[in-house]
Amino acid sequence: MNNNKSKYSQFIKAEAKRLGFISCGISKAQFLEEEAPRLEKWLKKNMQGEMHYMENHFDKRLDPTKLVEDSKSVISLLLNYYPEETQNQNSFKLSKYAYGTDYHFVIKDKLKSLLNVIQEEIGDVHGRAFVDSAPVLDKAWAAKSGLGWIGKHSNLLTQQVGSFYFIAELIIDLELEYDLPTTDHCGTCTKCIDACPTQAITEPYVVDGSKCISYFTIELKDKIPTEFKGKFDDWMFGCDICQDVCPWNRFSKPHNEPLFNPHPELLSMTKKDWEEITEDVFKELFKNSAVKRTKFEGLKRNINYLKE
């Protein structure tokens, strides 16, 4: 059987690569012991802000066997989204991950294909695909399976490609060969902490979600607090500052996923264009985009906040 574990693991990793994932790591599906006190402390300090869903399913969030029946393995996958070109300098900014088609659709399709091919090759394997849409601690699993380490900005980092990628999981009821975690390579660097304009990184490895520009521009449904006026550095949807300043991201290479390419007009739009955006243009630009999450009214609110 051990021979099979190794054979199956290698097969899964080769298929993941064929589907366009930049890396694949595998962990034993079990309770995340180290994460439990960390998550509890973070929630107690209300660092989730209005993201009340973070308080739900505490047990499932820490134990995949409660999420997927008889699960034995967590397969973690990374998909690059680093763009070839970025927006016009004189523009309000969108997080790079939102330039193209909503990643949930793109990755879900790839994960379905991966599960199908596992079932064809190996047999009666059951599981579920996750793309940050369920209580799964993506970054913790990716780090556990050796895909990178969690940086001081709380994003997963790798020496080869930095941090501009999506993390997804396939949790299945098949025993596989498990990978080991890698080591932390942040060293004494504090660039991400120093660069965050709202001081959301309260200490190394801890991000107060309720102070993060991404939280204000995407998750928060109410008015953005006035105390952060002038601190958003023109970000109207999400924020990449802590990743942009990270030295490891000088190794980022452009993705080769056509679905992540931006709408042709998006990169050339100026602040004036954004200020005058109509609902029809919004729908056309962001037809299948993650930006729809904030809705037209939300994006207008964010742009007005930056203008005032």
Whether residue 173 lies in the annotated active site: no
- How many C-beta atoms surround the C-beta of residue 3 within 10 A? 7
In DSSP notation, 142-202 reads: HHHTTS-EE-TTSSEEBTTTBT-EEEEEEEESS--PPP-------TT--HHHHH-TT--EE
Residue 101 phi/psi, 5° resolution? -65, 145
Catalytic site residue from 59, 63, 102, 132: 132
Least Cα distance to 37 among 45, 29, 28 occurs for 45
- How many C-beta atoms surround the C-beta of residue 141 within 10 A? 26
User: What's the CA gap between 76 and 136, in Å, rounded?
Assistant: 11
List residues with catalytic annotation: 132
